[in-house]
Structure 1
């Protein structure tokens, strides 16, 4: 299970304020906290600072690397910011968030995957737009996987994001994603699937409950990577319990350690 820590994102108020104040100590603290909480990658996103994104990305990456020893997931719609962050990444192979099947995005991001030998999140969007059905997701996923592997990208380095839509906007949105995950994981041995969980609960109450429950459901269908807040103990508890019950925790050692560490009772 790979956990991409989502907290170094300037859409979050405290991170945005730290960037404005050039408070590197706070950025380093959040990076370290996510590592200590079980993250395997640290996502770095400063897309809210569009005019200065390249320089801020460099500053953020420098400070994140001082705070932790994890590889980074560089996250931006701006290829120049991706290049800037990847160029400073250390601590193992980086990840890019993300490529799509859209011509412009594909042309901008593919050279960066090769330049930095990075892993890649491939988002299920193409020139026709966002997927409306499970079949759309499967069609776009097949297109992305085929093109990436034809370009020499190893199947093990591809993370398909099936694109979660809010359940409040359509009662079948969750089921469509669950079915797509299962088919993608079965069709492409060695591939990964990944998602950010918060979209599923958008505009509804008790969002954390929905997010945690959906994580458990996606795990049961084969999803093996998540973009989430690893410092959320309720989420961590659900993750550990699910891994144990699904046979992914030899002799329940991780679950027992989580109990001893006080993550849950």
Structure 2
């Protein structure tokens, strides 16, 4: 199970302000807290830093890696910012993200190859967002073979089915779950991942939906999540569900987290 901590993202007002003020202490403390809470990878996104994203990405990667030993997820719609972050990163990073869109593919694939990075592959092509399970499988049929042919190991590929907000269409949750199951069946050697909070966008008490959806995704084979690791009930459910699903031998991770006070009933 892979947990990507989502909190260092400039779409959040506090982070945007911290970046603008170059508040190193605030960002480093948030990185530390996420790692201590169980994040295996920490996402860094500065997409709102218009005109200086490359410079800010380099700064973020450097200051976060000063205080945590976990790898980073270099997250940007800009290939130039991805390149800057990857150049500054020590060890193997996770790139967020590549798609089957021609321009994005041609910009990002060489970076993944050059830096031998892991990569999140969104099930999206030049036709736009996927409309069905079949649509996701069709796009994955371009992404996975293309990445493997380019020398990317299957174990370094994380397929994202693209979760849509449940508040827009009551069937989007079912569609997402069926997509995860279908992707896992067709590509058992590839990981699946999602931005967990996307499902609850626009709805009240979002954390309840996020927690329930995470457990449901686990039962369909999803093995990686981009989430808020400081949500203790969420992390507790993740540890418990992972153990119940037979993915935690002798419940060692669950027991360790409980003894460390990281999860509570």
TM over 0.5: yes
2:189 and 2:74 mapped to 1: Cα distance?
22
Give the equivalent residue in structure 2 for 1:27.
27
Alignment of 1:133-144 (within 5 A): 133-144=132-143
The alignment partner of 1:96 has SS state of strand
Deviation at 1:169, TM superposition (A): 1.1
Give the equivalent residue in structure 1 for 2:99.
100
The alignment partner of 1:205 has SS state of coil
1:190-237 per-position Cα deviation (integer Å, ceiling 9, x unaligned): 200000011111111111000110000000000000001111101101
Structure 1 gaps of 5+ residues are none
TM-score, normalised via structure 1 length: 0.97
1:5 and 1:168 mapped to 2: Cα distance?
24
1:53-91 per-position Cα deviation (integer Å, ceiling 9, x unaligned): 11111111111011101111100000110000000001x
CA contact (8 A) 1:258 1:264 kept: no
Cα-Cα RMSD: 1.1
Give the equivalent residue in structure 2 for 1:45.
45
Farther off after superposition, 150-159 or 253-262: 253-262
The alignment partner of 1:167 has SS state of coil
1:250 and 1:150 mapped to 2: Cα distance?
34
TM-score, normalised via structure 2 length: 0.97
Give the equivalent residue in structure 2 for 1:181.
180
Farther off after superposition, 181-190 or 58-67: 181-190
Deviation at 1:121, TM superposition (A): 0.3
2:168 and 2:107 mapped to 1: Cα distance?
32
Alignment of 1:141-152 (within 5 A): 141-152=140-151
The alignment partner of 1:74 has SS state of strand
1:6 and 1:236 mapped to 2: Cα distance?
13
Farther off after superposition, 182-191 or 76-85: 182-191
CA contact (8 A) 1:46 1:57 kept: yes
Q: Figure out how many residues of one structure are paired with residues of the other and give that number.
A: 264
Give the equivalent residue in structure 2 for 1:246.
245
Deviation at 1:261, TM superposition (A): 3.1
